[in-house]
Amino acid sequence: MGKVVLISHPLIEHKLAIVRNKFTDTKTFRENVNEIGSLVTYEITRDLTTKDVKIETPIATTICQELAKEVVIVPILRAGLGMVDGIHNVIPTAKIGHIGLYRDETTLTPHAYYVKLPHILTEATILVVDPMLATGGSAVAAINLVKQQGGKDIRFVGLVGCPEGISVLQKHHPDVDIYLVAVDEKLNELGYIVPGLGDCGDRLFGTK
């Protein structure tokens, strides 16, 4: 079973309070989601493997370390875009794919409308990114698509999850580690996390 890692840090907690606040404006919300993305990157990549590389410093030749595998960031559209720049700023060599999903408001079932992924998934470490792990349906569908294109080393990266979403993701993809900043109480009858932070996509892009 994949592990669930809760990433805790005073700066993350401070910024999470800002994004939870319903009075936070779009610009501030987007900036803080992005900044949390940067801060969690150190934890989600802590166990990446490295390999020896010979380099020349201004003084001498020496052996250093570089990442042994490529990293691919795959945001689930739209909300996943809010964390991409923050992660990419820390790993600027990472490739970026995109998976677009929309959720049927009645059945809550996700449907793909756009999939564009790099052709290196088999040998890469893949970060599937979505700030909210609510019903788990979108995460499961996105990871299904990544695996169909050869992805193996996959990690889910979010901000806020709930027990229901974690359970669904672990049931369908027990090999995927889950990284979150907070695990909230539950889902409500509309499929939103309680207390959560509302509709992350709408708050990121000012569409509601």
Helices (H), 137-195: 137-148, 163-172
Beta strands 95-96 and 71-77, pairing class: parallel
- Can 175 be counted among the known catalytic residues? no
Of 61, 93, 106, 107, catalytic: 107
Of 50, 122, 202, 207, catalytic: 202
- Can 153 be counted among the known catalytic residues? no
Of 103, 122, 125, 184, catalytic: 103
Instruction: Find the helix packing angle between 10-20 and 26-44, rounded to 10°.
Output: 150
Beta strands 110-116 and 132-133, pairing class: unpaired
DSSP 16-32: HHHHH-TT--HHHHHHH
- Can 20 be counted among the known catalytic residues? no
- Can 202 be counted among the known catalytic residues? yes
User: Which are the contacts of 87, defined by CB distance < 8 A and separation ≥ 6?
Assistant: 37, 38, 40, 41, 73, 94, 127, 129, 157
CB-based burial of residue 44 (10 Å sphere; 0-12 exposed, 13-18 middle, 19+ buried)?
Answer: buried
Task: Provide the CB-side half-sphere exposure for 128 (13 A, CA).
Answer: 30
Residues with active-site annotation: 103, 107, 199, 202
